[in-house]
Structure 1
Amino acid sequence: MPLSPLHPSDPAADGSRWASMRTTLPEEWLIRYWFAWSIVAEAAALACAVVIVIICRSPKLRSQTFNKFVVFLALPDFVYSFLCGFTCLLHVLHGSWFGGDFMCNFQSFYGTFGIAASNWMNSLIAYELWRLASALAKAESYSQPSNRAIAGRIAGVNLFSGLLASVVVVPGLPMEVGAHSGLICLPMEYDLPSAMLHVAFTQFPVFWLPLLFIGWNFWRAYRVLAPNKAALNTVDRAIFVFFGRLLAVIVIFWCPSAVFLTIFPTNGHLKFYALLIGHFQALVSACFYMQKSDINAELRSTISSMASAVRGCWHRHGEAAHEVLRKSSLTAEMRERLLIQVQSEVLSHELVPMVAIEFTTWLQVGHFPHSSESLTRPVTDQDIVIFVSHRWSMTDSPDDVQGSKYSLLCRGVQKIVRKHKLDATSVVLWVDWGCISQEDSNLQELGISSLIAYAARADFMIVPVASDPASVCAFRRADHPTKLHNYGERAWCRLEVYIFMCMAEASRRPVFCYGCGPITLGNMCLPPLERLRSLFHKGAAFDMSMLPSTGDLSLEKDREVIHQIEEDMRDIYVNMAILEQKLNFETNTRLGKCILSEKQVRCIDVPHLVSAFVDEGLVLRLRELHLDGNLISEEGAAVLMRDIVCNPQAALLTFLNLSGNPKLGAAGVKHIADGLANPDCALEELRLSRCDLSGDAVAPFTTELLESTLVRRLDLSYNCIDDRGCDGLLEACGGCDQPFLDLTVESNPLSVACLYRVSRARAAIGLGSCRARKLRGQEGDEGGDHHGAGDEGHEGDAGRRCGWGSSLEFPVSGEIYI
């Protein structure tokens, strides 16, 4: 090595400062320390690699300025950690130092380069964040550096770090590389002149100078923001957290290394712990990067996709495992294509380019801005869009004279910024009063028609809640925006929520819909307690009575416009839902359920479902079809039964759920009943609850059930069936004593006598199954040699469990509903 280590028994190891730095530790300690370093370093390298890959694989992430800096901040950490872990592992496997002088020089180069590049990249970001704080304090717009400027700065940092790492090889300088205590090769002092040069050319530019630069920028940011409280309120806490992280990373992780190597350079064990702390810097930094909201969301999505692929691979072997991996990559590509398709459809509805108001501008205005004030700017891909959905306080103004709604929105948006750790300078607000022209009727009409595209581009939605008792009470209990008082009943408000939630689910991104307002009324002693509450707990499901086109309107002529926008949105949403189910079937050969519950499927969508499953041959594996909570009527039922349920290829389809389709009607039930009589129909269970069916509507079942030999359960609960219709169904099912079909009619307007007959039939169904089990048990007993008292006792217990023991003739309890 350039400065070879000294064995403790070597005469040159005289205990002086310079000799002690080179005196090696015992070999068993070296192996332990190298092994510990390799584990920590490779863990840090893996974390940095994850951050780099997550950002680079997403076009949206890598287009943002801050994320570009993050990549080149994580890159030197990755290089240093990976190479250090790799070389330490080589030493462990070799049992001593591996690679001689070359490895020593190489380790010194990449170690110095990685540390210097990491610290100076932190300094570069600190300077950029100071520029951001300065712009906020001056109420100016922050101008992001161009890609060319970013590339130039990053190249400068790497070139400077490379020069620092190469300074030990410059001829004429009294600087050398040495193995510190035999552990690691770094630039080493060996006399007073080399010690001075070591501090001047290595320690100061690598450690202390970037620390001073970061601290100086932090102080400058504090000085410009401290006098301006409004600017302080607008600055995302993440800015200061990030500044604190920059200081903490150097102070907590690298400063101990620099201090110990300078003040205590002779203690080998202390060097190990100091440099071990330094290795944790990359790991902790990577964890901080992953906390950024957009990186965190992409990471979760990637982990979910990988977990699905691993679960699929777990259940397959050999060639099937390779097929799953191939299909997993295909799934990602197909999902990406579906998202691109949805985005292109959505953007076709943007008749007027979307504009929004910067949140910093919003705070400075001091009132609800009008479109005539020209405070908007075009929305870019880097913006974080918050969609403000509200009901106007007055017919000609969205806010009251006190500006209550404006103040509430300021506080609510700030809470969203803090909750999700957003960059406040990237936050923009879309609000109808300020972002859709209120003077030009033509532009206003085009802007309204573009609502689908506007809501689709929004990342968050916020609903301001009034402070009157009814609104407060409703807000405290609401689990959906349509449950809010003086908001959820309005057609325009419903439409904005409807579009936002449908597009979020269709594009497979999180739905952040918040209400902001008081949850208590307050009194003389305590002010009202204000909260930001999530108003979304499930998919984009809307009760039929809560659809936008059924809401209240001040101008009835607007209903046609709302209905058209609603239909356009539904076309996109349903098509995406069907394609998603098709994709699931194509990539998971074990899947047998198609679940389209509460996806607003209409009659015109059923042919798309047929095309997706029948034309592609997927119907061969279809076992269950869930279409409950949709808008299927007579035409859709006819196509569904003819092309899917009664298709000879659907031999495995035994379950059909059409509950919650109130548009079916008598004609739709007739098509379903005709399908049950088809010899190609394999259905064993049919659910038609909550379809508003009358006794006359279910009359077709009274003839078709007799011809169907496969259906064993029919659910008609929560309908409007009378005694006459129920009795006809009972007779078609085999009567009360020997029924072949389990009929469920609870919560229908039936008399007690009729319900009693239904209970008898259901009890007979249970009795028949228990008798069959008992007979099978007796046949098994006949094959044995002995029948004892214990067998008889067991038989009696079995009878009582089945409900036909001595105490009850049939189980009536719990089956009668009035």
Structure 2
Amino acid sequence: MFTDAYGWVAINGDTLPPDTALLDRWSRMRTRPADSELVTYWGIWFLTAVVSGAANLFIIILIRAKPHLWNKPFNKYVVSLAFPDSVFSTCCAVTCGLHFMHGTWYGGTVHCDIQTVYAMFGVTASIWMNAVVARQIYRLADAAARQQEYAPPTSRDVMKHVLGVYTFAMVIALLPISTWPGPKANAGLGLACLPLEADMQSTILMWTLYLPCVLVVPVILVACYFFGAYRLLLRHQAMKDTRAVFIVFARLFFVLLFMWLPTGLCLWILGGVVPVSLAWAGGILSHVQGIFSVFLYIRKDDIRSELRSMFCSQGRRANDNNNKNSRVFPEDEGAQAASASARDGMPVPSSSSSFLRATASSSVLDYASLRVQAVEEMRLTERTPMLVVSYRDFVAHGSVPRSSDRLQRPLGEGDITVFVSHRWWGPLIHAPFRRASSFCDAASSYDWNGHVDTDKCHKFQILCRGLRKLAEKHGLDLEKLAIWMDFACIEQDIPELKLAGVESLLSYASRSQFILIPVFPAPAAVQAFMEAEHPMDLLDYGERGWCRLEAYVFLCLGEITGQAVSCCGYGLMFKCNGSDVFSEELKAAGTKSGCFGLKSSYEQLKPLTSGSASFKREQLPSGGKFTVEGDRAVILAIEARIQNVYCRHAILSAAEKHLHLAQDLRPHLHLAQHLSPSGTCEAPRSHFALDAKQLTCAQMPLLITQLQRIQSHGQGKLRKLSLKSNQLLLSGLRQLLKNFVCQPEGSELQELDLQDNRLGDGCPAAAEDAVGAMESGISLGVKLQPFFRPTATNNHNSSSSNNLLMEVAALLGSPACENLRVLKLSGNRLASSAAVLVQACWQLEELDLASNNLGNEGAQGITEVLRGQGEDPSSL
């Protein structure tokens, strides 16, 4: 056994000196140049490896330290790719540094073995992790192409993939230092230790087993997966998000492949043939690959955004830390949120009215107390305790259980409740009894016996798969999953108990964290599900008043209480025609058999909400269909109860968020002007929106008070107010104009959006009376041209409607509204009343009156107005 000058055991089968006379291929691969030449190579390698190792380590720390980055599965894969590069470059920096400092190879056989292990681990792990990522990208592209939900790997799945690859890579790395007859660890050309051939047997094993496992097989897998994903993306140009992920990781793989290729080519394939300098250049590319990979990692949108926030937002973190303990956002619960928000100050100038000051100081307390009030009101409707069925009992039963099966139990502490909202899928038969005070058409008009599901239990099977998918997506423990379903949890055989259970629906919804809607396996329902963006868009569900009510209560209460509620549909989702015939396998199992007998699932768990309870007028429960028309009055009463609390919450919540946003943006105004494309951050502070929040005229005083509060806060004036898709009448518009827009606080408002409200309700012929009044000499502040002749029907219209329209027109045409430039009133059923508003709003740059059922009379009136304005230049 030989030792070197430093006492280390010399490299096994030591590299050969420059003047060796051996000319066989295996000897040339081990022939080293002079130490003086090698020292230069090692020194440059050292510097490159330090940069590469540090850059990859930075990426690992960045992703691991930021929960919002670490929680994303593809970022975990980024870490799994960066780790082998970091290990390889860091260890290589240490090795090259030691050689450089000692002027010759340092460490003998021990160091050679160590370098072989970390080098082969880095190469193998990187390439095989690319194969794992390529498979996930193909799955992502395939799901997007089929318009199905991509089920990302869970943290446990990612860990299994990473540990599997790393274990395999370590086995590959240890083989060259073991007793196996294949390639052994040795210093290729004296530069670095890698597995090298030594004889014919090792050559055969090198090219038939070792290198295919390290390089050939994973490269083929990656090529197949990426080519398949590329073809899918080529056919579906709209999949921008999937394409972005594909591009990042595809570039990553090609960088890895083509920067490692010169190393393998020079040291393994052409070893001893190419000059040492060329082999060294190939080796340095292996470290540059790590640096290039880091640049590709930071091109991923979320990582790039995080880096921008770190290096571009100077002082932001310090400001956040100062505010972290002193301010609780509106989403936080309890009295702490209320007191903290109040303490943060809602400064009201002394010039404000005493009423405004009182409201400003108490509104946050009202906002917090609304949550408690809403829950208490819903719980008071509970006439019988909530019963649930455990997930295990539900599945084990084999069909949708009935209350008479006695699987239900009281709701327990720690239960995670899933509220199953559904329509009966079997044929309905009229019930032998009728309760006039019933709360449900199913309870009051039909007998529920035996018709909750199809005769082949399709709903039960869909629910079982949907519950598992829901638990998987949200990381829920199936042992804690409790199911509430009316057929199983409301007494079916005792009318009094059935009625009590139905009347307790509001309370039950308030105690649930999830709502799951099974989708009927029929072409029309599947197509509707694929296009649905709201629970009301589901076919044979969203049009039913009582189904609407369940989703309505659940979503409204979830937003009020700040709970992380989730409303999802589950069922088949793919493009189909109404004439398609579904196989029994597709309806029962949600799968189709493909090539080689492989089955593909066509079911998806699809969220049907966007984080808030947005309901347009036509989506409200009271607008649904009822088997018994008398139930509509019952629904209206429930709707009004929830609406009152929800609208107050929506107004106060939006005001709080707007004020906090303005406060947060103020210290960074200068920075935002440089970073934002428009050069300004004025938009978030100058826009206020409460769209599809069910607002009525009853909530207008509170809304006006909060708008005044925002204006008095001194954080910038409102320029745009959006109240689309609410239930505001003309009287509400009058209140808004009179008490805000035409007041000094609202004088800078430039755009008012009231699309899809009810401004035309209650005064279908008001325009005719209004014109009659104008012809009688009533002044509106602008010159109004008469365009209707008074008719006999005028005498039958209420004078209050006429006066209301005239007052609104007068306010819009007054000098107090001179800054208003855009008024959007489409979808308000204004009919002929629109002509009055056209004449009053002549100073506007844009007046949107689309979809207002103008009719011939309205069109004629507007034509007369336009003709009159054209003939009177002074009015222009």
Whether the 8 Å contact between 1:7 and 1:23 is mirrored in structure 2 is yes
Q: CA deviation at 1:404?
A: 2.8
1:367 aligns with 2:417: no
* Residue type at the aligned position of 1:10: P
Which aligned pairs between 1:14-413 and structure 2 lie closer than 5 A?
Answer: 14-15=22-23, 20-24=28-32, 50=59, 54=63, 57-58=66-67, 77=84, 79-84=86-91, 86=93, 101=105, 109=114, 112=117, 179-185=187-193, 313=312, 321-324=313-316, 326=318, 341=333, 357=391, 362=395, 366-368=398-400, 389-394=421-426, 395-396=448-449, 397-408=451-462
The 2-side partners of 1:625 and 1:77 are apart by 50
The answer on 1:516 being equivalent to 2:624 is: no
Rounded Cα–Cα distance in structure 1 between residues aligned with 2:96 and 2:107: 13
**Residue among 433, 441, 445 paired with 2:485:** 433
Which of residues 706, 715, 723 is equivalent to 2:823?
Answer: 715
Which residue identity is paired with 1:81? F
For the 8 Å contact 2:53–2:86, the answer to whether it is kept is: no
Question: 1:436–1:443: 8 Å Cα contact kept in structure 2?
Answer: no
1:543 Cα deviation from its structure 2 partner: 1.2
Seen in structure 2, the aligned counterparts of structure 1 residues 34 and 558 have a Cα distance that, compared at 3 Å, is farther
Match of 1:754 among 858, 861, 875: 861
Task: Map 1:661-740 onto structure 2 (within 5 A).
Answer: 661-666=726-731, 669-685=734-750, 686-689=752-755, 690-693=757-760, 694=763, 695-704=802-811, 705-708=813-816, 710-713=818-821, 715=823, 717-718=825-826, 719=828, 721=830, 726-727=835-836, 730=839
Please name the residue that 1:630 is paired with.
693
Mapped to 2, the partners of 1:477 and 1:654 lie a distance apart of: 34
Tell me by how many angstroms 1:708 deviates. Answer: 1.5
DSSP-derived class of the 1:406 partner: helix
Task: Indicate conservation of the 8 Å contact 1:24/1:183, yes or no.
Answer: yes
Query: How much is the aligned-residue C-alpha RMSD, in angstroms?
Result: 7.5
User: C-alpha offsets along residues 219-256 of structure 1, whole Å, 9 cap, x if unaligned?
Assistant: xxxxxxxxxxxxxxxxxxxxxxxxxxxxx9xxx999x9
C-alpha contact 1:38 1:88 (8 A) present in aligned 2 = no
Structure 1 equivalent of residue 522 of structure 2: 467
Contact kept in structure 2, 1:626 and 1:656, CA below 8 Å: yes
Alignment partner, residue 486 of structure 1: 540
One-letter amino acid of the structure 1 residue matched with residue 117 of structure 2: T
Determine if contact 1:638/1:668 at 8 Å carries over to the other structure. Answer: no
Structure 1 residues 452 and 591, CA gap change in structure 2 (3 angstroms)? farther
> Secondary structure of 1:715's match?
strand
- Does the C-alpha gap of structure 1 residues 699 and 504 become closer, same or farther in structure 2, counting only changes over 3 Å? closer
- Separation in 2, partners of 1:370, 1:570: 37
Give the letter aligned to residue 865 of structure 2: V
Aligned to 1:666, the other structure's residue is in SS state helix
Tell me, in whole angstroms, the C-alpha distance in 2 between the residues paired with 1:109 and 1:328: 46
Q: Distance in 1 between matches of 2:53 and 2:833?
A: 74
Offset of residue 488 of structure 1: 0.4
Structure 2 CA distance for aligned equivalents of residues 51 and 679 of structure 1: 55
- Check conservation: 1:331, 1:583, Cα contact below 8 A: no
| 1:665/1:89 CA distance change after superposition, 3 Å | farther
Q: Distance in 2 between matches of 1:377 and 1:50?
A: 49
Distance 1:332 1:365, change over 3 A: farther
Question: Does structure 1 residue 449 correspond to structure 2 residue 441?
Answer: no
Structure 2, gaps ≥5 residues long: 5-9, 133-153, 215-252, 338-367, 380-384, 427-447, 591-601, 670-680, 764-801
Residue pair 2:658, 2:688 contacting (<8 A) in 1 also: no
Secondary structure of 1:11's aligned partner: coil
Determine the C-alpha separation between the residues in 1 that align with 2:683 and 2:753. 22
1:588 is aligned to: 665
SS of 1:494 mapped into structure 2: helix
Q: Which piece of structure 1 moves more, 543-552 or 642-651?
A: 642-651
Is residue 619 of structure 2 the alignment partner of residue 546 of structure 1? yes
What is the CA–CA distance in structure 2 between the aligned matches of 1:53 and 1:752, rounded to whole Å? Answer: 63
What is the CA-CA distance between 1:713 and the residue it aligns to? 3.5
CA shift, 1:755, in A, is 0.5
Distance 2:846 2:190 in 1: 82
| Post-superposition CA distance 1:143-202 (Å, at most 9, x none) | x999xxx9xx99x999x99x979999xxxxxx998633233246999999xx99xx9xxx
Q: Secondary structure at the match of 2:866?
A: helix
In the alignment, what sits opposite 1:139?
A: none
Distance in 2, matches of 1:191 and 1:725, equals 95
CA deviation after TM superposition for structure 1 residue 716, in Å: 6.4
The 1:264/1:409 distance shift into structure 2, 3 A limit, reads farther
1:393 to partner: Cα distance? 2.3
Percent of paired sites with the same residue: 17
- Cα distance in 1, alignment partners of residues 733 and 542 from structure 2: 32
Secondary structure (helix, strand or coil) at the match of 2:315 reads helix
User: Secondary structure at 1:179's aligned position in 2?
Assistant: strand
The code of the aligned residue for 2:818 comes to: L
Contact in 2 for aligned 1:436/1:447 (Cα 8 Å): no
Query: What are the superposed Cα offsets for residues 644-681 of structure 1, whole Å, 9 maximum, x if unpaired?
Result: 35956667334333344323441551352243443444
> How many residues are aligned here?
631
Q: Contact 1:465–1:472 (CA<8 Å) still a contact in 2?
A: yes
Structure 1, unaligned stretches of length 5 or more?
127-143, 169-174, 210-247, 291-298, 314-320, 593-617, 770-818
Query: 1:487 offset after TM fit, Å?
Result: 0.5
TM-fit CA distance, 1:516? 2.4
Quote the Cα distance in structure 2 between the aligned partners of 1:434 and 1:274: 70
Normalization by structure 2: what TM-score?
A: 0.50
Instruction: Give the CA deviation at 1:399.
Output: 0.9
Higher relative contact order (CA 8 A, sep 6+): 2
Q: Please tell me whether the aligned partners of residues 4 and 22 of structure 1 are also in contact (alpha carbons under 8 angstroms).
A: no
Partner residue of 2:19 out of 11, 21, 24: 11
**Alpha-carbon distance, 1:412 to partner:** 7.3
Alpha-carbon distance between aligned partners in 2 of 1:422 and 1:284, rounded to the nearest angstrom: 36
Counterparts of residues 750-789 of structure 1 (less than 5 Å): 750-760=857-867
